[in-house]
Structure 1
């Protein structure tokens, strides 16, 4: 760890290099200072300053430095004469001056630590709580992914790709070691390529330590708040309560929580279509083989099944009227808005605004990265003004001119 390496990008590396130098000193001197806990202070500081966003960087950085300072003061008694300790104290003072941090103020929240091992081992933990088990094994919380299918259907994949599909018939949204989700679509109107989801089937595969296999099935005008066998949980096994189903809005919104695989699913009905949203642990989402390659949540719609949202189907609701209806529910003109316009124009059903709105609400709750919530595609959406609507605008404008004179 030479000095030149640490000076390549001082803004990003100063904190890391400072702590690495302290770590080197600690390793060099650890035989003499085994009671000193300065290494824990260093570790907490690095964790608190890792991956800070630009909008919060300066405030969070000062909070972390104040926490670092408090930690060194707590361990001062056992660290007297420790070169690492004294290096840390002086380094903190220098960094606080460089970043204009006050000595008094808020500090970083304590870093969550994995549960201490016990003599009974991992089996004594609740293995049907995915987050708790993951934290125990890895020392940090799992990462999550989000997928959704709504409206025409429009599919938002785990990789934040956005497709509009014709996919008539049954297609798998998910097919992995823990979950199978299938959506069945039908043609929205005669002579149209647009389709909408009329049936959703979800299979929670058998997991002997936690749940029996459970099947949930929803159809238009039949959104049950129970699994096919009439149960509302994972069954008689000890971890049965780690899978539960709840009715959020009767006949319109059901939520299924599968804590044993770190997964939450929302199924909604809006107009004459169903929608599906999921928040799932990344490890679970990617637990499939090469044979399970067709999953709309993973790869999106096959190229042959994709249609452009710029294709306007005239004769139902004029595009500009659809835009006004969608704008009431979706003020940001992102892909949710564009999909809303497409669906309303194609179907002639204003209730499809609720489908896009519900999908956006689920994304707000389920997507792990708020900065990636909105997706913007240029030159997409039914933006053309239909001929009847254009005539209305021209007639209105001409009448206004005559009244003026």
Structure 2
């Protein structure tokens, strides 16, 4: 941009010198500051319009409030789990929670219509309602009406409910996710693609230990994916169990209970597992540390997502164990997926290289699965290295899970659905922040406008 401005200034000086010598000054349309580039100055009014549009898009993206709807769903789901919801038309109680979430989102549609994550969340709820055979029209949950009858449903009134040491401030949560070949989002919101074959720890603290085992994807070189996941709730006689409680999932086996055969332990079901979709999706909730764990089986492999209070995460920092969610993958286990995508992007014939799918075809499939940013890049990477289209579903579901667990995550995303080769060039290791590009464009346009005004 500054090179262009400098060239334009030199061009004006050159025309001024020619004019003073009695020569005919060339038209501004004849100026060529760069090869094959010719255009008049941008009209000031157009500059202002462009700036307004960019700022409007940023504001509408950040103004979409999905957290309220998620909180209403969580409250309704808690009431359903405690037997406080009894639909009169034969529906399961979860239908009321789903419908409560959907009605709230529809009410926010004016603010959220252009938000991709909003659309994904809404479609996800509609899909759940269809699977659970819920009615589109029916009861929604009214927390105040239930409380007026003297029934307390707030989780913080139950025994063994997590209470932050910062009583006067909202609880801050952190998230971690693992999916695909495998791709990792750490608690620090760092994005990595790793090899990590064998058994690895995801999270370990005095309350819980989570382990995964990654095995090679058959006939696809160095690609690995998660084939086993183990969750161990440690001894806690007050709020869990006098002994360890273990949940173990492996390929083609996603149980709906812990290994002791129970679906809950502790006072007021302070640790509980809920089957969201038999054989495909379970959710474990530990109320005494307010932690939610989601496990899905897609094809032969698993995805993992966790939401945990920041102060619980910080208790893991002093542990010497390599925890993928905390420290990330060891440097020697990381794969430069940006370099891979940049190097393989021009291969159009599968016989010409070691790819299972072309970049063009993989990008098309990943756009259809409605994934964005890192999840889009990871989806393309997995398809090119394995050719297994189940990985597109894995990327979509993991992004959906993290969005539902924390709708505020959408504020950090660019919603990019294409491979940015400038960003993923082998020499580039940085990740641009979500609003960096729009604001840079707006600033550049403003500078052009001011420069034209000064020299007009």
TM-score normalised by L of structure 1: 0.59
Is 1:317 equivalent to 2:357 in the alignment?
A: yes
Is 1:134 equivalent to 2:134 in the alignment?
A: no
Provide the residue aligned with 2:309 in structure 1.
281
Is 1:292 equivalent to 2:324 in the alignment?
A: no
Is 1:225 equivalent to 2:265 in the alignment?
A: no
8 Å Cα contact 1:155/1:165 also seen in 2: yes
Provide the residue aligned with 1:343 in structure 2.
382
SS in structure 2 at match of 1:208: coil
Is 1:357 equivalent to 2:401 in the alignment?
A: no
SS in structure 1 at match of 2:336: coil
Task: Write out per-residue CA displacement over residues 361-380 of structure 1, whole angstroms, 9 at most, x where no aligned residue.
Answer: 01101235431256879547
Is 1:160 equivalent to 2:189 in the alignment?
A: yes
Is 1:216 equivalent to 2:247 in the alignment?
A: yes
Aligned length in residues: 260
8 Å Cα contact 1:319/1:382 also seen in 2: no
Q: In structure 2, what is the Cα distance between the partners aligned to 1:174 and 1:374?
A: 28
Is 1:175 equivalent to 2:207 in the alignment?
A: no
1:328 to 368, 371, 389: 368
1:103-252 → structure 2 map (5 Å cutoff): 126-130=158-162, 133-134=163-164, 138-190=167-219, 192-212=221-241, 213-234=244-265, 237-239=266-268, 241-252=269-280
1:49-88 → structure 2 map (5 Å cutoff): none
Q: CA deviation at 1:189?
A: 3.6
Judging changes above 3 Å, is the alpha-carbon distance between structure 1 residues 359 and 127 closer, same or farther for their aligned structure 2 residues? Answer: same
8 Å Cα contact 1:277/1:359 also seen in 2: yes
Give the unaligned 5+ runs of structure 2. 1-57, 66-155, 345-352, 427-456
Q: CA RMSD in A?
A: 3.0
Task: Write out per-residue CA displacement over residues 229-248 of structure 1, whole angstroms, 9 at most, x where no aligned residue.
Answer: 111002xx434x01111111
SS in structure 2 at match of 1:363: helix
Q: CA deviation at 1:57?
A: 11
More deviation, 374-383/178-187: 374-383
8 Å Cα contact 2:173/2:310 also seen in 1: yes
Judging changes above 3 Å, is the alpha-carbon distance between structure 1 residues 315 and 143 closer, same or farther for their aligned structure 2 residues? Answer: closer
Q: CA deviation at 1:273?
A: 1.2
1:260 to 288, 291, 303: 288
Judging changes above 3 Å, is the alpha-carbon distance between structure 1 residues 198 and 147 closer, same or farther for their aligned structure 2 residues? Answer: same
Structure with greater Cα Rg: 1
8 Å Cα contact 2:402/2:409 also seen in 1: no
SS in structure 2 at match of 1:138: coil
SS in structure 2 at match of 1:134: coil
Higher RCO (CA < 8 A, seq sep 6+):
2
Q: Hey, which bits of structure 1, 4+ residues long, moved more than 6 A?
A: 53-58, 380-383
8 Å Cα contact 1:143/1:282 also seen in 2: yes
Task: Write out per-residue CA displacement over residues 312-335 of structure 1, whole angstroms, 9 at most, x where no aligned residue.
Answer: 573422222111111101253x11
8 Å Cα contact 1:309/1:382 also seen in 2: no
TM-score normalised by L of structure 2: 0.52
8 Å Cα contact 1:316/1:346 also seen in 2: yes
Q: In structure 2, what is the Cα distance between the partners aligned to 1:382 and 1:347?
A: 22
8 Å Cα contact 1:152/1:165 also seen in 2: yes
Task: Write out per-residue CA displacement over residues 71-126 of structure 1, whole angstroms, 9 at most, x where no aligned residue.
Answer: xxxxxxxxxxxxxxxxxxxxxxxxxxxxxxxxxxxxxxxxxxxxxxxxxxxxx964
1:269 to 288, 297, 300: 297
Q: In structure 2, what is the Cα distance between the partners aligned to 1:176 and 1:375?
A: 34
Task: Write out per-residue CA displacement over residues 277-317 of structure 1, whole angstroms, 9 at most, x where no aligned residue.
Answer: 00111111121363434111011111000012242573422
SS in structure 2 at match of 1:342: helix
Task: Write out per-residue CA displacement over residues 204-229 of structure 1, whole angstroms, 9 at most, x where no aligned residue.
Answer: 11222111131111111111111111
Judging changes above 3 Å, is the alpha-carbon distance between structure 1 residues 314 and 289 closer, same or farther for their aligned structure 2 residues? Answer: closer
SS in structure 1 at match of 2:255: coil
SS in structure 1 at match of 2:231: strand
Judging changes above 3 Å, is the alpha-carbon distance between structure 1 residues 270 and 125 closer, same or farther for their aligned structure 2 residues? Answer: closer
Q: In structure 2, what is the Cα distance between the partners aligned to 1:249 and 1:224?
A: 11
Judging changes above 3 Å, is the alpha-carbon distance between structure 1 residues 372 and 182 closer, same or farther for their aligned structure 2 residues? Answer: same
